[in-house]
Amino acid sequence: MSQVGISGIFDRVKRIGRLKRNYLLIATLLSLLFFALAIWAFMHPGFAASQLQDYVMRKTGRSLIVNGGVSLQYLPQLSVRLNNVVVSNPDGMEGNFAQADLVELPIQLGDLLRRRLRIRDIRLTNPQFNLVVDGKNQSNWIAGKSTSGGKANNAILTPSLNEALSMHVEGGTFSFTDERHAVAFAIGNATADVTVTAEAELSISGTASINSELSQIEVHVKSLQRMAADGSPADINVKSAAMSVNFSGRLGTRIGPNLAGSLVASAPSLRRLAKWLGTEIGGHAGLRDFALSGAMDLAADALKLTKASVTLDGMTAKGELFVDYGRETPRLTASLATDLLTLDPYFSSPQKSGTGTDQKVEPTWKITALNFAGLKGVNGAMALSARSVKWGEIEIGPVDISSDLRDGVLETRFQNGSLYGGAGSIKLVLDGSQEVSALRMAVDGRGLKGEAFFKDFAGLDWLGGTTGLQATLSASGRNQRDMMSTLTGNFTLEVSNGEIRGVDILDTVSKVSSAVVNGWGKDPRRLTAIDHAKATFVIEDGVAKTSDIKVRSPLFEITGGGEIDMLRRALYFKFEPLLITGDEMAAELPVDIVVEGLWNKPRIYPDVDGVLQNPQAAYGVLRELGVSEKTIRKIENKGDKLLKKLRGN
């Protein structure tokens, strides 16, 4: 055989070998491809969606729809991922019960190979749960009739019959709507761990945004089935910057949301709490350090609290509360008792208004904004029994207080109370219904201890005695000064068996006969006794006028009239003094005595033309009118003797 023939045989053998290797490689690749396809077909997670859809339909009668497809995730944990998942409401109810952007179902390799879905954990991204009670009293979280022909399963969606279902929620929204009572609320941006057992026991722990306030939430419901029936034992704890609430008792939804049990709540500011709950309370004063506890019964549109303890601005009252928030404006009714009610957090005390007589600077009324508009946030009625009511240095009590608040107008009555050792009643109306706040007051006090009364209310520490006061006043304005300029009404003041401390009226009148007196000439060693004094004032535009002042004492009698300018804190009076010499004789000045100027330091002088410009000439005229030096000395001497005798008694 030639060399060429042998070479051709070898080449053919080589070509055949290469073909066999190629065929073998192709066969191997095809085998691997078929095997991969078989493994893929066997392990594709589409079965999980089908089994879950079938389970949900059989057990609840609802549809589960996966709109975004199904995929398998290997790391960090083997999981089935379902995108854009929706769970429908029961038949007859519109809308969806739940939906989520992503549902992750961790699965074990053995279950995947056996193509068996066994859910132990669910991870939800951006889920929305819509809990609804419709007008037919149907709750959409109660499972509908099963399609398996068996008894209806009333458990919430629980894919595993024997194990608890754990859910982790990221970016969740929970909404509740009760169409029967038009009640709705929502919780957003929730991050929580949720556990539902086979017995439908629910536990929730996490955070959520409630009315834009980040809150910590802990919820435990013993039975979701009982919650929709006669109620289930439940514990609810919510804590945010606006408030802290702890509830333990029964939760039911059969006839609307209902909580019955023990409640403990607190809030640093009642205004902030009201704003968080969707309403506004105006103003800035008070309403801090709020706390509430008691036995609560909360329905869809009302709250009842018995054995209640309410703390606000350092005061604590006990009794019962009822809130009807099913109205456009919530209504609060209460019956409470407290040891102390202080008005200082809400109103400036009269002592801070500069009414005292010893002040070194001229007093002025405040121009700080005065606004009762906050009263429009709620309506209500309250009965309060207080052992003591304080306002600055003022303290009265015990007293029964009844209040009625309607459309921004608060009417309060103080009755059956001890008022400065006597008896009295006060009716106070604060009107915040209009743009400019208004105030109305009616006072009836009898047998009051004048020493304390005049000091507390007018800053006068020199007048005392058994006092009676009847007053009807009204004013309006944006601040204290405006209120004084618009003050109208009338009042009658009567003092008996009293004294004027630090002022000797007899001495003052004697001095006035020879010189102008500046101020009351107060001397703590001096005293003027008063048998009886009375005056009636009519007030218009902040000016109180009277023409029937009458003061009687063992040493003198004074009659007269004049006016008090409340805004300027000034007065102008003319008095006709009759001085009693002690021998059943009386002497009087032939002219009136004028008291004029600021009420804490007036000028006192005889009513003679030019007395202030040229006192020497004016007093000369006074002597020409018949008041001699001898008469003046006689008045002074007899008066001193009587005064000393009176002081010794």
What's the rounded mean pLDDT across residues 257-279?
Answer: 86
646 residue type, one letter: L
What's the rounded mean pLDDT across residues 214-226?
Answer: 92
pLDDT surpassing 70 at residue 17: no
Residue percentage of the chain with pLDDT more than 90: 30
Tokens standing for residue 255: 């006839």
Of 66-75, 109-118, 200-209, the range with the lowest mean pLDDT is 109-118
| Of the candidates 253, 247, 249, 241, the residue with the CA atom closest to the CA atom of residue 212 | 241
Of 487-491, 530-534, 567-571, the range with the lowest mean pLDDT is 567-571
Residue 369 CA neighbour count, 13 Å, CB half: 9
pLDDT surpassing 80 at residue 144: no
**Beta bridge partner(s), residue 401:** 384, 414
CA 182 to chain CA centroid, nearest Å: 25
DSSP-derived secondary structure for 15-44 = HHHHHHHHHHHHHHHHHHHHHHHHHHHHH-
The pTM (predicted TM-score) of the whole model is 0.64
Burial class (CB in 10 A: 0-12, 13-18, 19+), 556: buried
pLDDT surpassing 60 at residue 130: yes
- Between the alpha carbon of residue 525 and those of residues 501, 503, 602, the distances in Å are 8, 9, 20
What CA–CA distance (Å, rounded) separates 553 from 346?
42
Question: What does the H/E/C string look like for 402-435?
Answer: EEEEECCEEEEEEEEEEECCEEEEEEEEEECCCC
* CB 370 within 8 Å of CB 479: yes
- Between the alpha carbon of residue 359 and those of residues 353, 354, 453, the distances in Å are 11, 7, 19
- Between the alpha carbon of residue 409 and those of residues 335, 380, 442, 475, 639, the distances in Å are 19, 10, 16, 14, 55
Q: In the structure, what pLDDT confidence band is assigned to residue 202 with cuts at 50, 70 and 90?
A: very high
**Beta bridge partner(s), residue 209:** 188, 214
Tokens standing for residue 318: 């006990």
| Of the candidates 476, 342, 468, 473, the residue with the CA atom closest to the CA atom of residue 401 | 342
Residue 161's pLDDT is what? 47
What CA–CA distance (Å, rounded) separates 285 from 564?
31
| Of the candidates 244, 197, 247, the residue with the CA atom closest to the CA atom of residue 219 | 247
Spatial neighbors of 277 by CB under 8 A, at least 6 apart, are: 211
Residue 419's pLDDT is what? 77
* CB 563 within 8 Å of CB 545: yes
How is residue 590 annotated by DSSP? S
What CA–CA distance (Å, rounded) separates 629 from 154?
111
Residue linked to tokens 């549902």? 103
Tokens standing for residue 327: 């109205």
pLDDT surpassing 50 at residue 642: no
- Between the alpha carbon of residue 14 and those of residues 1, 10, 17, 23, 143, the distances in Å are 19, 6, 5, 14, 73
pLDDT surpassing 80 at residue 515: no
* CB 457 within 8 Å of CB 424: no
Of 5-14, 247-256, 611-620, 640-649, the range with the lowest mean pLDDT is 640-649
Question: What mean pLDDT value characterizes the chain?
Answer: 78
Q: In the structure, what pLDDT confidence band is assigned to residue 641 with cuts at 50, 70 and 90?
A: very low
What CA–CA distance (Å, rounded) separates 450 from 407?
37
What CA–CA distance (Å, rounded) separates 361 from 353?
12
CA 153 to chain CA centroid, nearest Å: 46
